[in-house]
Amino acid sequence: MLELSTHQPKPVHFKNHSFRKEFHTKKSEVEVWNWLNDPKTFTDNQVWPYKVEFVKEDHHKTDFEEGVFNTHHGPLMSFSGILGEIKEGYRDLKYLYGSYFLSMRWIRPQRLQFWTDSMDQGTKVTLQLDTYVTPGFYGIWNWSQGLFWGRFGRWMNRSLRKRK
């Protein structure tokens, strides 16, 4: 197993921020898990000028496995990381030093985690984004995460319906 600690060190004057949200779908956990671990879910659905890429050092690796590098970049952001632990119902992405939103001085992503749980009539998806934020941006960052991730559930359900 790949041993990773947090690759994005916390600057002394930054605060920890953790945003966690649950989403529900009528699709099975297997369908949701396959969707969450398909690189095309993220590479084919980006709005220009943003882009998501997955890079493998060892070309024999699958697209989604521990140690695969990932970057989500565009104007005013660079979220580069490495896929950490991936096991049934859990996936971890740890961000690398140098990742930022708006500026390295204000917001630095640390970790993005997904969990899936089978329910009576579908699946619950939980996401958690951990970041380091300067105190002056903490409130607006918290508000903006609710706005940004609020769309994820609708996008997930739409995207899952389109899958074959």
Q: Is the pTM of this model over 0.85?
A: yes
What pLDDT, in 10s, does the model give residues 86-111?
999 999 999 999 999 999 999 999 99
Q: Give residue 61's pLDDT.
A: 57
* Regions of the chain with pLDDT less than 70: 1-6, 58-62, 164
- CB of 132 closer than 8 Å to CB of 17: yes
Q: What's phi and psi for 36, nearest 5 deg?
A: -65, -25
Q: Give residue 6's pLDDT.
A: 56
